[in-house]
Amino acid sequence: MSKLQFDFEIIHKIGELKEITYEEILELSKNAPKQMIFDAASKIRDKRKGKAISFSKKAFFNIINMCRDTCSYCTYKAEPNDAKLSLMDKKTVRELAVLAKKYNCTEALFVTGERPEQRYPEAKKWLASQGFSSTAEYLIHCSEMVLNEGVFPHTNAGNLSKDEMRELQKTNVSMGLMLENSSPRLREIGMPHHNAPSKEPSTRLNILKNSGELKIPMTTGILVGIGENMEENIQSIFDIKKIDDKYGNIQEIILQNFHPKPKTSMSRHSTPEEDYFKMIVALCRIIMPNANIQIPPNLSPENYHEFLSVGINDWGGISPITSDYVNPEFSWPNIQNVEKKCNDTGFSFKARFPVYPEFIPLVNNDLKQRISLIADEENYVKESYWK
């Protein structure tokens, strides 16, 4: 059988929505015409997810950005004396929650560095001044506070323990942990995660498994263009799929394209080629046909709408009031402009909660009741509320 015949057989298999293997996907990525793959992914999205594209209207709570890790591409992390240091006390958290409610945001995205109190005495002292011994304890308190102001927490705070996740589950409708990549090679000397012990793939995969055992709607994903290869990206997606096949709690996969940042050791690395990034997106849709797949629109500001043709069905969180503190050089697009881009290409546009409609059954009854107050009949946010 020729390679071309083999590729067409795989495409036929994809068209029938049959399970395909890592080897078949790898073969496809190497030999099939890219447009054939893009079109196949788009058709799968239409069949499995329809023509509605969602987003979450959010406020970004940059709680504490000291971090025990040092990643080669990161400018989010702050040292104790940095001008960009963020230490959000309880009063500031509450004030932002009130503002988020005023703007009808439904998501409070809590982001922190990785257990900063384990590396920085300053972080430990500041947490103690707030009345807490750990970042996780403080997040549990902040989640309760923000939920009571009418905004739904979604916590992305690195490698939390199972007990910490269990406590946060009481107030968080969903949580997040980026896998980034499951290749151990990226932790080797000279690679981006060498000085980031929390990015050990086996550790991150284990936390995703814990989230499955706890039945937490979980967001994860990969970072594309940090020195990995196509095989490692494909394997990473299959590793996520394996967890989702077992537990059914992976609510969303983020595919994030790397951008070099000044004053980092990867400042001279290139952003991934557009077709390479689109290929990863399309292959993810083919590997996980039922998944909610998003790209951050602010990281592809000139052409984010083009990814509608390779299988995405979500834009992730977009904030009308706060910056993307992880990528502050990239402003959020105007929500009305994103809606117009969707409509102009034949898609509808819907606001969702930090938990996707089909994952709401996993959250507790108190959270379900709060969601129901502003949800439409499909469990998206009522248009009259968010617009």
The pLDDT assigned to 51 comes to 97
The pLDDT assigned to 206 comes to 98
In a domain, 368, yes or no: yes
Whether the predicted pLDDT of 279 surpasses 80: yes
In a domain, 16, yes or no: no
**Segment 363-387 mean pLDDT:** 97
Q: Give tens-digit pLDDT for 218-235.
A: 999 999 999 999 999 999
4 phi, psi to nearest 5 deg: -65, -45
- Of the candidate ranges 10-19, 259-268, 343-352, the one whose mean pLDDT is the lowest: 10-19
Q: Give residue 330's domain range.
A: 56-386
- Of the candidate ranges 178-187, 259-268, 338-347, 357-366, the one whose mean pLDDT is the lowest: 259-268
The pLDDT assigned to 20 comes to 84
Q: Give tens-digit pLDDT for 155-210.
A: 999 999 999 999 999 999 999 999 999 999 999 999 999 999 999 999 999 999 99
DSSP character string of 207-271: HHHHHHHHT--EEEEEEETSS--HHHHHHHHHHHHHHHHHH--EEEEEEEE----TTSTTTTSPP
Q: Give tens-digit pLDDT for 235-246.
A: 999 999 999 999
Q: How far apart are CA 363 and CA 216, in angstroms?
A: 7
- pTM here is 0.95
The pLDDT assigned to 90 comes to 97
Residue the block writes with tokens 């390779």: 310
In a domain, 25, yes or no: no
Own/partner contacts of 13-21, CB < 8 Å, gap of 24 or more, are: 14/40, 14/44, 14/286, 15/40, 15/43, 17/44, 17/47, 17/48, 17/289, 20/286, 20/287
Q: How far apart are CA 268 and CA 225, in angstroms?
A: 12
Q: Give tens-digit pLDDT for 81-121.
A: 999 999 999 999 999 999 999 999 999 999 999 999 999 99
In a domain, 118, yes or no: yes
Q: Give tens-digit pLDDT for 323-349.
A: 999 999 999 999 999 999 999 999 999
Residues 283 and 251 sit within 8 Å (Cβ to Cβ): no
Residue the block writes with tokens 């946010």: 381
The residues near 20 (Cβ < 8 Å, ≥ 6 apart) are 10, 13, 14, 286, 287
Q: Give tens-digit pLDDT for 292-311.
A: 999 999 999 999 999 999 99
Whether the predicted pLDDT of 6 surpasses 80: no
Instruction: Give which of 225, 227, 180 is closest to 205, Cα–Cα.
Output: 180
In a domain, 33, yes or no: no
Residues 145 and 171 sit within 8 Å (Cβ to Cβ): no
The number of domains in the chain is 1
DSSP character string of 175-218: EE---B---GGGGSTTSTTTB-GGG-HHHHHHHHHHHHHHT--E
The pLDDT assigned to 3 comes to 56
The pLDDT assigned to 19 comes to 81
Residues 49 and 311 sit within 8 Å (Cβ to Cβ): no
The pLDDT assigned to 7 comes to 61
> The domain that contains 361 carries what CATH number?
3.20.20.70
The helix/strand/coil state of 121 is helix
The pLDDT assigned to 1 comes to 43
Whether the predicted pLDDT of 8 surpasses 70: no
The pLDDT assigned to 14 comes to 75
In a domain, 5, yes or no: no
Q: How far apart are CA 370 and CA 148, in angstroms?
A: 10
Q: In this structure, what token pair is assigned to residue 267?
A: 């400042």
The pLDDT assigned to 359 comes to 98
Q: How far apart are CA 198 and CA 99, in angstroms?
A: 33
